[in-house]
């Protein structure tokens, strides 16, 4: 059984990561452990670069905290102002002893009601809770689930990006081994 160390104990992220690995490698058995690690960035990253850095740092910190894993996964959600609107996305970084996989989710734009709260310093999950009168939506549907009427839920949103980040692991002959301690 191969062990995945996820840089978050969030059950939605754990399910997304586990299912993504299982879909890409159906003949392999995986177990997953979610741990809390620091991202090294703001609670609500406000740029693409900062969000990528958060995912990278989370994956590296997961490896440092739990070196007994085979894979270490960092997921970081972020926003970036684009033409006066907030674009929402997440970065995924997956490390192994000899490989790096990176991917970004699809994007969507926040309605002004949510964007205003993020501009005031709220984390998107907290803004969701305020606008939609929910509790802890970060561990549930998230903004994408709430805004799409759960047509796209947060698990599927992350899972597809996990699958894309696993492409180098699925095609090792096309992606030569690399120093996974250096993330670009």
| pLDDT computed for residue 44 by the predictor | 95
Q: Are strands 2-6 and 71-82 parallel, antiparallel or unpaired?
A: parallel
What kind and span of H or E run contains 58?
Answer: helix 48-65
| pLDDT computed for residue 93 by the predictor | 98
Residues of the chain with pLDDT below 50 are none
CA distances from 152 to 71, 90, 138, 144, 155 (A): 26, 14, 15, 6, 8
| pLDDT computed for residue 164 by the predictor | 98
| pLDDT computed for residue 182 by the predictor | 63
Per-residue pLDDT of 12-59, as tens digits, reads: 999 999 999 999 999 999 999 999 999 999 999 999 999 999 999 999
pTM score? 0.94
| pLDDT computed for residue 158 by the predictor | 97
Q: Which domains does the chain have, with CATH numbers?
A: 2-108+153-170 (3.90.950.10)
| pLDDT computed for residue 181 by the predictor | 64
| pLDDT computed for residue 136 by the predictor | 77
């Amino acid at each position: 059984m191969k062990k995945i160390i996820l840089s978050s104990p969030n059950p939605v992220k754990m399910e997304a990561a586990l299912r993504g690995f299982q879909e890409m490698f159906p003949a392999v058995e995986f177990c997953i452990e979610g741990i809390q690690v620091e991202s090294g960035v703001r609670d609500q990253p406000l740029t693409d670069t900062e969000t990528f850095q958060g995912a990278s740092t989370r994956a590296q910190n997961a490896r440092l905290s739990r070196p007994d894993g085979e894979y270490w996964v960092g997921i970081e959600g972020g926003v970036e102002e684009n033409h006066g609107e907030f674009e929402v996305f997440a970065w995924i970084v997956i490390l192994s002893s000899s490989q790096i996989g990176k991917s970004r989710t699809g994007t969507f734009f926040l309605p002004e009601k949510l964007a205003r709260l993020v501009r005031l310093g709220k984390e998107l999950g907290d803004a969701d809770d305020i606008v939609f009168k929910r509790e802890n939506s970060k561990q549930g549907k998230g903004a994408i689930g709430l805004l799409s009427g759960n047509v796209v839920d947060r698990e599927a949103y992350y899972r597809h990006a996990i699958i894309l980040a696993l492409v180098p692991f699925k095609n090792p002959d096309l992606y030569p081994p690399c120093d996974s301690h250096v993330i670009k």
